[in-house]
């Protein structure tokens, strides 16, 4: 497969082994491309109709995108990342379209290693900014994207993917946040190096919550206050939206409605979501009034 970028970065781009024997590298063979489609069905469901096929995985690599995998010591594909190149305001960007790791291996930080590999690959192509999407109610993904990677968010997209046939998307629509990952910014560099310490739940305890949860068997969202005038605000989300969808679907839909209103309202006022903190059965986004701070 044709690759772009400088020769000095080729070795790092082609393989990133871990101390536990897992290896991050591009998908190379037809068998690996097919294994990637099988892994997509394993993660998003056998009926998922939006599988990225082998031909598109291959073409994306040729066009300067990413189709890379995490391989177990025995060569089995256990995770992958897929992203496409683009242009925004005349400069190159990267859209990270899919990231998945086999469920039984999600405690190995393979998702983060795939994302770090993708970042290095993009930087060596001259790309400085990356985007993707995630469900604002998925606390675990929010924590990973903002707290661990150092991405920031100020864009909310209603029902981005419409109705899909994946069970992961069922019940509450497909509203999404669009994080911005400034790949070589001081914030991201410090966060990935472990030199930047995000705030704890105690640190943010004094900051007003736009939609404070009402204690119950499952936390209940309150009506959001869209008129708080403060440099920092917090917006609450449930800690486990998938469990809530199964146990109390009406409550899950209520969380979608209230957090949609809250996030859209404060983004419209120039706030930017920068951090996520955990508070037992709920979490909060920390938003900063940063209308004059460019993203």
Identify the structural domains of the chain with CATH numbers, from first to last: 7-193 (3.40.630.30)
What contacts 24+ positions apart, CB below 8 Å, involve 121-124? 121/5, 121/13, 121/66, 121/68, 122/66, 122/83, 122/94, 122/183, 123/183, 123/184, 124/5, 124/6, 124/9, 124/12, 124/13
The confidence score (pLDDT) of residue 13 equals 44
What the block records as the tokens of 67 is 């189709």
Please check the confidence at residue 7 and state whether its pLDDT lies above 60.
Answer: no
User: Taking Cα atoms as reference points, which of 96, 107, 101 lies closest to residue 39?
Assistant: 101
What the block records as the tokens of 12 is 């790092």
How many C-beta neighbours within 10 Å does residue 81 have? 25
∠ CA 163-84-37, rounded to 5°: 60
Residue 108 and residue 73 in contact, taking contact as beta carbons nearer than 8 Å: no
Give the global pTM. Answer: 0.88
Number of separate helices (H) and strands (E) present in the chain: 8, 11
Residue 210 and residue 291 in contact, taking contact as beta carbons nearer than 8 Å: no
- Give residue 295's pLDDT band: very low, low, confident or very high (50, 70, 90): very low
The confidence score (pLDDT) of residue 46 equals 86
Query: Which residue matches tokens 């070589």?
Result: 184
Please check the confidence at residue 290 and state whether its pLDDT lies above 80.
Answer: no
The confidence score (pLDDT) of residue 176 equals 97
Q: Which of 146-160, 169-183, 194-208, 218-232 has the lowest mean pLDDT?
A: 169-183
The confidence score (pLDDT) of residue 163 equals 73
Compute the mean pLDDT over every residue in the chain, rounded to the nearest whole number: 90
Bridge partners (DSSP) of residue 87 are 92
Q: Which of 18-32, 51-65, 181-195 has the lowest mean pLDDT?
A: 18-32
The confidence score (pLDDT) of residue 291 equals 54
175, exposed or middle or buried, with CB in 10 Å at 0-12, 13-18, 19+? buried
How many C-beta neighbours within 10 Å does residue 186 have? 11
Residue 152 and residue 289 in contact, taking contact as beta carbons nearer than 8 Å: no
Query: Which residue matches tokens 């998307």?
Result: 169
The confidence score (pLDDT) of residue 47 equals 81
What are the distances in angstroms from CA 176 to CA 120, 135, 158, 160, 256? 25, 5, 6, 6, 11
Q: Which of 108-112, 152-156, 170-174, 275-279 has the lowest mean pLDDT?
A: 170-174
| DSSP-H helix ranges across 198-294 | 241-247, 249-268
Q: Rounded mean pLDDT of 76-93? A: 97
């Amino acid at each position: 497969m044709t690759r772009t970028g400088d020769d000095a970065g080729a070795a790092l781009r082609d393989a990133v082994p871990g101390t536990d024997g897992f290896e991050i590298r591009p998908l190379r063979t037809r068998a690996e491309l097919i294994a990637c489609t099988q892994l997509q069905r394993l993660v998003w469901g056998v009926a998922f109709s939006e599988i990225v096929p082998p031909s598109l995985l291959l073409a994306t690599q040729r066009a300067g995108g990413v189709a890379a995998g995490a391989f177990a010591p025995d060569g089995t594909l256990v995770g992958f990342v897929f992203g496409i190149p683009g242009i925004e305001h005349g400069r190159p960007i990267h859209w990270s379209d899919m990231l998945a790791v086999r469920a039984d291996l999600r405690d190995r930080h393979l998702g983060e290693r795939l994302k770090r590999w993708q970042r290095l690959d993009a930087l060596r192509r001259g790309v400085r900014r990356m985007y993707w999407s995630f469900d604002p109610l998925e606390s675990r993904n929010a924590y990973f994207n903002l707290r661990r990677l150092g991405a920031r968010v100020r864009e909310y997209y209603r029902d981005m993917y419409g109705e899909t046939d994946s069970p992961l998307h069922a019940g509450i629509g497909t509203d999404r946040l669009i994080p911005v990952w400034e790949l070589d910014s001081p914030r991201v560099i410090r966060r990935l190096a472990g030199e930047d310490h995000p705030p704890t739940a105690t640190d943010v305890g004094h900051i007003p919550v736009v939609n404070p949860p009402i204690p119950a068997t499952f936390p209940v969202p309150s009506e959001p206050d869209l008129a708080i005038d403060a440099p920092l605000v917090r917006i609450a989300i449930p800690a486990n939206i998938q469990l809530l969808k199964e146990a109390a679907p009406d409550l899950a839909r209520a969380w979608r409605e209230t957090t949609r209103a809250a996030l859209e309202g404060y983004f419209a006022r120039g706030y930017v979501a920068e951090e996520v903190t955990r508070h037992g059965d709920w979490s909060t986004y920390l938003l900063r009034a940063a209308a004059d701070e460019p993203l």
